[in-house]
Amino acid sequence: MIQLRLGCTFDYEQPVAVPALLQVAVRRDDGAVVRDEAWDLRPAAELTVLSDPYGNTPRRVALPPGEAHIGYDALVEVPDRPDPMDPGAVQHPIEELPAEALHFLLASRYCESDDLAPAAFELFGKTAPGWPRAQAISDWVHNSVRFEHGSSDQATSAMDVYQRRRGVCRDFAHLFVALCRAMNMPARYVFGYLPDLFVPPAPDPMDFCAWAEVYLGGRWWTFDPRNNQRRVGRVVVGRGRDAVDVPMVTTWGPARLQSLRVWADEAADGP
């Protein structure tokens, strides 16, 4: 196991109280084991744990008038192996997919798998079904889309990314998910922390990361079209059909984000 220290801080400013939803804490149903977890809200505020149809547990909080600082910090243990893989994982025929997976064949707000289906068949119709097809889609998204900060926004969908060929990790994940669904492979959007373990450190300050999971051979597998690598140390925060379901922070009102910091590093004092 590897021990990670991860978390984030947000600073907001608002003239009036603003209700908000936070989704930055580690999800409990995955490989990551939370050893310690703390919230730091200044001024103090109450966090209410909610739930959603996808097993996420967003926190509701009221940002008070003036300045608000939100901090989350956790000590987490993750497996010391890269994302598992199985190049022989098969693609299930529709009639054998479990209900839970079938749901993730549906088009969604940011993943227009319906509109992208003809393009998907042209691009991937001749690849071998199952793992090789999912990997071919990941390769193609990785190679065809240019990573560019600020090239997309909240409204950017998979179809937009297909047309413009640039975006951030969220956009890579959306396009990958939409193309997988178009090829009848259930795919879901994942959001979390991704430390730089066993890879050269990224030049940019750390941010949250988005990737995807595909249902093949009876289980869900991680694919990360942004990095297109099996990585060590992913920690899942939330999952859903697309980014609509996994808002890092949602505010209803005139709250202005002043600063954001994210970290995820190997803890100096391992277990």
Contacting positions for a second copy (CB under 8 A): 19, 21, 50-54, 58, 60, 62, 93-95, 99, 102-103, 106-109, 112, 114-116, 118-119, 122-123, 144, 150, 154-155, 159, 162-165, 184, 244-245, 252
Identify whether 84 is preceded by a cis peptide bond (ω within 30 of 0).
Answer: no
Name which of 13 and 196 has its Cβ closer to a second copy: 13
Tokens, residue 9: 């801080």
- Cβ of residue 101: shortest distance to a second copy, in angstroms? 10
- Cβ of residue 97: shortest distance to a second copy, in angstroms? 9
Q: Which whole-number Å values give the CA distances from 115 to 83, 171, 177, 184, 244, in the listed order?
A: 31, 16, 13, 14, 18
Exposure of 157 by Cβ count < 10 A (0-12 exposed, 13-18 middle, 19+ buried)?
buried
**Closest listed residue to residue 94, CA positions, set 86, 84, 104:** 104
**Are residues 242 and 111 in contact, defined by beta-carbon separation less than 8 angstroms?**
yes
Name which of 122 and 269 has its Cβ closer to a second copy: 122
- Cβ of residue 4: shortest distance to a second copy, in angstroms? 28
Name which of 32 and 97 has its Cβ closer to a second copy: 97
- Cβ of residue 89: shortest distance to a second copy, in angstroms? 20
Name which of 115 and 265 has its Cβ closer to a second copy: 115
Name which of 26 and 161 has its Cβ closer to a second copy: 161
- The whole-angstrom separation of Cα 14 and Cα 230 is 41
Instruction: Residue count of the chain, please give it.
Output: 271
- Cβ of residue 115: shortest distance to a second copy, in angstroms? 4
Tokens, residue 44: 């103090």
